[in-house]
Homo-oligomer: A and B are copies of this chain.
Amino acid sequence: MKRLSHLAYFTRLLVLALALSGLVQASVQAQESKTQATKKSKVVFQVSDGDSKKWELTLSNVKNVIKDLGKDNVDVEVVAYGPGIDMFKFESPVAGRIEEVLKLGAQVMICENTMRAQKLSKSDMLDNLGYVEAGVSQLIKRQQQGYAYIRP
């Protein structure tokens, strides 16, 4: 077997070093692009006021965001709790407009803590809503997941 020269070994080490250095770069870049990817537009709207003008404004906001960014480029969630829950009751004055934004792909999450406090059941509420144990915890969770927060 032919003995490798000094130089040949050194070359091999260098190639290895460059390969590993490439691996490091790739790993770091992969992580960066992962961070970028989680920055796809995501937004959570809080409805906690029992004020129908705020509800109208929130619905306009949701529509404008979806129109402006494009339905496929943004995840929109509305979280209702406290006095804001009235917006999504069966007899809501904005029921028609809510149906419209649900069709545009927005999600609505209702706080079950508030429902219990107000002795409401799901049959008192509009259709096609989601439910969470605590509205505020949902707002925290969404922000931790990179959602922007808007309180109209």
Interface, chain A (partner B; CB < 8 A): 1-6, 9, 12-13, 16-17, 19-21, 23-25, 27-28, 31-32, 39, 41, 43, 46, 48, 53, 57, 60-61, 64-65, 67-69, 74, 81-83, 113, 133-134, 136-137, 139-140, 143-144, 146, 148-152
Contact = CB atoms under 8 A, between A and B. Distances in A.
A140 B82 contact: no
A5 B9 contact: no
| Number of identical monomers bound together in the oligomeric complex | 3
A37 to B, nearest CB: 12
B136 A64 contact: yes
A28 B25 contact: no
A41 B133 CA distance: 16
A64 B148 contact: no
Contacts of A39: 144
B6 A1 contact: yes
